[in-house]
Structure 1
């Protein structure tokens, strides 16, 4: 393994840990809490890009699946992944990939990151709500009321914060030569 790949794997582990920490920041709601996980997902994807961002979230999900209490409310275990909120966790992986991909195909700027993170938020909400509907045996309107509507405004705020923090930190990591960047905004 070359030095750059090893460095990126270490970054993936760091961002997986950060996601676990952010997951503990939560506002309880009846079925799905508002948590810091999605903010961490956006920051991760904005900084690491598609492949490493998704890999970091795969590591996060795997840690939780084997019982490490990294999910919201200090929970862990495979039962969380197959439970009402598991679709959101799977959605994090897909969202991170597409958020990073959009930035890689365009430019790493705050406005593009806002678009990419909004797309990521929508992906997470869709996948999370689909699983919530079936696992909790809800109708579509109930699933939307529990799994989408409460998260739209907060999600847009988190998308902005992830964009601003992510682009700012990414620029500094590139300047410090801690990550490579074929597509840096000036």
Structure 2
């Protein structure tokens, strides 16, 4: 039991760190940059599921909140979380849970992973755009143009990559007995 807790803590820490690293891969845009964060969230949920994925994202947000430079552009601090892009970061927590949950209730196969990661993308963009709108006092149209439109195509590409890579890595980690088994009965891998 204690060994499993330690293993889960290490797994969550690793995925929080992976998210911090991928956050530094970015394409700057005027208000909200395109970054590898959302790819990392999708990978996290696809590989380790809803519970551990959510914990990993909570850890990631906490690391940034205390000032570690883990967010895009090597930023950190509460000011980022309450700023224009903070909603996207908070959205990662819900996205990780929902993406992992969909896979746990269906199958860990590429088509379902694509559905789950696309739903996750919509959640992140929605929460992010709501905060963007209110923090910058934008109209809904302006918030959509700045906070959603530039990310739809790249978001679908990242959803596919998170699905494909995530399902592949998950299957290999499970076959090597390196992933804790999830409690849901419908666990299938590709």
What TM-score range do you get, normalising by the shorter chain?
A: over 0.9
- 5+ unaligned residues in a row in structure 2: which ranges? none
Name the CA distance, whole Å, in 2 between partners of 1:36 and 1:9. Answer: 23
* Residue pair 2:8, 2:180 contacting (<8 A) in 1 also: no
Runs of 4+ displaced beyond 4 Å: none
RMSD: 0.9
Q: CA deviation at 1:184?
A: 2.4
Name the CA distance, whole Å, in 1 between partners of 2:103 and 2:85. Answer: 27
- 5+ unaligned residues in a row in structure 1: which ranges? none
After superposition, what is the alpha-carbon deviation per residue over 1:107-140, rounded to whole angstroms, capped at 9, x for unaligned? Answer: 0001100000000000000000000000011000
Structure 2 counterparts to residues 1-186 of structure 1, below 5 A: 2-182=2-182, 183-186=187-190
Name the CA distance, whole Å, in 1 between partners of 2:5 and 2:176. Answer: 16
Name the CA distance, whole Å, in 2 between partners of 1:25 and 1:185. Answer: 29
Name the CA distance, whole Å, in 2 between partners of 1:40 and 1:91. Answer: 13
Aligned residues: 186
Q: Structure 1 length as normaliser, TM-score?
A: 0.98
